[in-house]
Amino acid sequence: MKPAPFEYVRPDSIAEVLDHLASAEGAAKILAGGQSLIPLLSLRLARPEMLVDVNRIPNLSTIRASNGAVRVGALVRHSQLVSQDQHPLLAAAARWIGHAAIRTRGTVGGSLAHADPAAELPVVAVTLDATVHIAGRSAERSSPASQFFIGSLETNLADDEMITAVDFPWPARWGFAELARRHGDFGVVTVAAAEVAGRWRVAVGGVGPTPLRCPAAEHLLDQGARLSEVAAAAAAAVEPSSDVHGSGEYKRAMTEVLTARALAGQGLA
């Protein structure tokens, strides 16, 4: 379990990162926290020719509020999310990520770019329809989370692009619930719900290739429907497949349970 050889570069600026990515023509990978990438390298399931270590690029580790949202730099560690108080939903969700040592290194940018369907932050990003800020050689762009995730471990990032920051809208009310086999494991099912600008949004992780929005449940919430109806609507929206940690049927049922749990205590009927 040792990584295959690669070239290692440690640029000081985003521009240099983009140059490296472009010149490698798809054979380079960004290395951020390494908590997902390094296991893949060690298993030789990923074998890029070049690793572009972005950890020393300045100004990517800040969290600050900006009109109704919280802007989180790509290199903000999960541990920083846990201890900040500007965005409680992010703090609550980040607490569920792995263990202390994983959170020390793992980054927000890495988690979104890795796009694990069971990961917490992508669920939160989709729930809030966060805006992912992306630097590219030709232009900067931003992508709404709803479009950013396109499949399991797949995003709309091009080979030569890099996430620089993410804007997470600030919810007036929110809830988060997860079911994991053990403390610190990826969730079997994860549900986040948030009320942003007067509208409820609900997304579920672990039940499809990307976090899934549940429009029917959101609609019911906005109408002040009963919690049990909302939860049932969320479950009806997903069609999970089976794996070693649970059957599709179980995950669907857990979607209902966790939706109810996420929303408990929000003053809903």
Partner 1 sequence: MRVELTVNGGLMTVDVEARRTLVDVLRDDLNLTGTHAGCEHGVCGACTVIIEGEVVRACLMFAVQADGARITTVEGLAGDDGTMHPLQEAFCAHSGLQCGFCTPGMLLSALVLLGRERHPSRERIREELSGNLCRCTGYMAIVDAVEAASRGPGDLPVPHQQST
Partner 2 sequence: MGRTVRRKEDARLVTGRGRFVSDLNLAGMKHVAFLRSTYGHARITSISIEEAESAPYVQGVFTGEHPAFAGVALRARSGLETYVETAQPILAQDKVRFAGEAVAAVVADDRYLAEDAAELVVVDYDPLPTTVSAWAAQDAPWPGHMTPVHAEAPDNVLLRRTFQAGDVEAGLVAATVVVEQELFTNRHAANPIECRAGVAWWDGDRLTFWSGTQVPHLLRNCIADLLGLREGSVRVVAPDVGGGFGVKAVVYPEDVALCLIALRLPGIPVKWVEDRVEHLQAATHAREHRYRLRAGFSDGGQLLALDADVTCNVGAYSVYPWTAGIEPLMAGGLLSGPYRLGNYRCSVRGVVSNTTPSGPYRGVARPATVFAMESVLDEAARLLGISSVEIRRRNLIGPDDIPYRMPSGLVDDSGWYGECLERVLEQIAPSEVKAEQERRRTSGENPIGLGIACYNELTGLGRAASAGPRMPFRTGHEACTVRVNPDGCVTVLSGVCSQGQALETTMAQVVSDALGVDYDDVDVRIGDTAESLWGFGAFSSRQGIIGGGAAHEAAIVVRQKVIDLAAELFEANPDDLRVEAGEVRVAGQETPLCRLEEVARVAYLESHRLPESFEPGLEATRFYDPIRGAFAAGAQAAVIEIDRATGEIDILKWACVEDTGTVINPGVVQGQVAGAIAQGIGGSLLEKLEYDDAGNLITGTLMDYLMPSSADVPDISIGHVSHPANNPLGVRGVGEGGTLGPYAVLAGAVGDALGVRIDHLPLTPNDIWSVLK
Ligand X SMILES: Cc1cc2nc3c(=O)[nH]c(=O)nc-3n(C[C@H](O)[C@H](O)[C@H](O)COP(=O)(O)OP(=O)(O)OC[C@H]3O[C@@H](n4cnc5c(N)ncnc54)[C@H](O)[C@@H]3O)c2cc1C
CB 158 within 8 A of CB 136: yes
43 binds partner 1 (CB under 8 A): yes
Q: Under the criterion CB under 8 A, does residue 11 sit at the interface with partner 1?
A: no
- φ/ψ (deg, to 5) at 134: -125, 130
Give the binding site for ligand X (CB under 6 A).
Answer: 29-37, 39, 54, 74, 97-98, 102, 105-107, 109-111, 113-114, 116, 119-121, 157, 162-163, 185-186
Query: Residue 259: which residues within 8 A CB-CB, separation 6 or more?
Result: 177, 191, 193, 202, 204, 214, 217, 230, 231, 234, 235
Neighbour count for residue 126 (Cβ, 10 Å)? 24
**Is there binding between residue 265 and partner 2 (CB under 8 A)?**
no
Q: How many residues bind partner 1 (CB under 8 A)?
A: 31
**In this chain, which stretch among 19-27, 37-45, 213-221, 251-259 interacts with partner 1, using CB under 8 A?**
37-45
E strand or H helix that includes residue 216: helix 215-222
- Is residue 42 within the footprint of partner 1 (CB under 8 A)? yes
With respect to partner 2, which residue has the nearer C-beta, 148 or 186? 186
When asked if residue 43 is in the footprint of partner 2 (CB under 8 A), the reply is yes
Q: With respect to partner 1, which residue has the nearer C-beta, 79 or 190?
A: 79
Of the two residues 123 and 233, which places its CB atom closer to ligand X in the complex?
123
Residue 246 CB, nearest approach to partner 2 (Å)? 5
Residue given tokens 């109806």 in the structure block: 229
Nearer to partner 1, 12 or 249 (CB): 12
Distance CA 45, CA 258 (A): 33
> How far apart are alpha carbons 5 and 52 in whole angstroms?
14
Closest alpha carbon to 203 in 186, 228, 224, 221:
221
Give the contact letters, 154-183, x = binds to partner 2 (CB under 8 A), - = no: -------------------------x-xxx
243: CB partners within 8 A, 6+ apart? none
Question: Side chain identity at 99, as an amino acid letter?
Answer: H
174 vs 186 by CB, closer to partner 2: 186
Q: Are residues 128 and 169 in contact, defined by beta-carbon separation less than 8 angstroms?
A: yes
Least distance in angstroms from the C-beta of 234 to ligand X: 21
Determine if 1 is a binding residue for partner 2 (CB under 8 A): yes
Question: Which parts of this chain interact with partner 1 (CB under 8 A)?
Answer: 1-8, 10, 31, 34-35, 38-39, 41-43, 51, 53, 55, 79, 98-102, 104-105, 182-184
